[in-house]
Amino acid sequence: MRPLPDPDLSLRDASDFIFESELCRVALKAPEPESLAVFLRDLIATIYRLTTSCHLAEFTDHGLNHLCSLVDRLSRWTTQHDTAASRLVVKELGPSECAVLLLATLMHDIGMLSQRQEDMPGQQPQWESRGVEDLANWVRATHIPRMKHLVTRLFEDSEHSGLIAHAVSQRAFRVAEAHGSWPSEWGSIGFVNRDSGLAAMLAVADLLDEDSNRCDTETLLHHRSGTYLNCAHWIRHGLTGGRVLIQGGAIDVVLRRPPDTDAQLESVYRALRNHYRICYLYLQELAQVGAGIVRIAFTPPDGCPQAIAPELTGWKHLRGFGTQAAFVYHLLNSFMPQALLDSSRLAPTEIQRLRALGLQEIDLTEFQRIRGGIELHALEEQAFHALAGHVT
């Protein structure tokens, strides 16, 4: 298979890579609408311009390299068939379904590349009211509700204005929107046909884009600054070695640990394994499009890995990360409540459902104390308590 483009890829490389993918090839066999190929090329160029002019440097990659990785993962997704052979899922989809999935993939994170407040629907909170320092958190929290208006605005005066209103594009918006919620919440989205299965494929592909190829962690650690949350996300991408694919319905994950760390990080690896196991939440929707997952396996299967991630050398020099206790706290804070089985933020029924999927319990006593309970401490105060305390 053709390797992923370089992280500093050019527009032409990214465009070529996406157009040569199996997902795009199927979408263009009977393109709907007819001008789909031209719109795809212009959408890719627009994402490239946003990445170079508007993307906040402290974020992990949400531009073309991330999108190429997702398109590649979707294109290479194989599932078990007749207990022996495997097959490419996208070859079993129709051209319009592949068009919906491809457009949704390209658009799903476009809000992370823009900070325009006028793209927020209705009377939603503006980042100005919360201070410039909170811009990154505002962008992260609002990137999905801003997506559709942003794309519409970018192409409203172009030859593609009619294509945005086309049924395929509107379906793609709904599929992209779904990656910010869980299947149990998708009833209000208004999916048609098998689009909930396409939404599940995108959500799983996005969950799996956690590996060290997603982020040049070493460069970020040494040459950029960001919030505690952004730094924790950089580091998390260094904990998974190699790319994580779905082959024969199986997902294999190789874990690594930062230098100068020990078993105190076990709770982080429990949370990371739980993060990957969240893919099981989508099994029912995936079955609609024949994209089953039969197992998720880890190396090592439990505990802290022995393999070292050398690019994470120097993590102690990050502001607020100077001790293992603080390191563990900030990493745990970067996970979704579901990955933590956090009973303070999840309903008992949801906790039960996640346990049934094999997610592991994590002792969050110290983590919750540092966060400050219901009335959260300020971020600086949390960092201070984490540096001075002990997280298990």
Residue of 74 and 9 predicted with greater confidence: 74
Give pLDDT, residue 314. 84
Per-residue pLDDT, averaged over 368-374, amounts to: 71
Per-residue pLDDT, averaged over 307-328, amounts to: 89
CB half-sphere exposure, 41, CA atoms < 13 A: 8
Q: What pLDDT digit, counting tens, does each position of 43-88 carry?
A: 999 999 888 776 555 555 657 888 999 999 999 999 876 555 678 9
Q: Per DSSP, what are the bridge partners of residue 254?
A: 241, 299
Residue 132 clears pLDDT 90, i.e. is over it:
no
Query: Quick one: pLDDT band at residue 347, thresholds 50, 70, 90?
Result: very high
Give pLDDT, residue 391. 44
Cα–Cα distance, 244 to 252 (Å, whole number) = 7
- Among 97-106, 206-215, 296-305, name the one with the lowest average pLDDT: 206-215
Q: Per DSSP, what are the bridge partners of residue 80?
A: 86
pLDDT over 70 for what percent of the chain? Answer: 82
Burial of 288 per CB tally in 10 Å (0-12, 13-18, 19+): middle
Per-residue pLDDT, averaged over 187-208, amounts to: 95
Give pLDDT, residue 236. 92
**Mean of the per-residue pLDDT values for the chain?**
86
Residue 218 clears pLDDT 80, i.e. is over it:
no
With a CB cutoff of 8 Å and minimum separation 6, the contacts of 162 are none
Per-residue pLDDT, averaged over 257-267, amounts to: 94
Burial of 63 per CB tally in 10 Å (0-12, 13-18, 19+): buried
- Give 232-235 contacts, CB < 8 A, sequence gap 24+: 232/330, 232/331, 232/333, 232/334, 233/59, 233/60, 233/334, 234/60, 235/312, 235/315, 235/327, 235/331
Give pLDDT, residue 66. 87
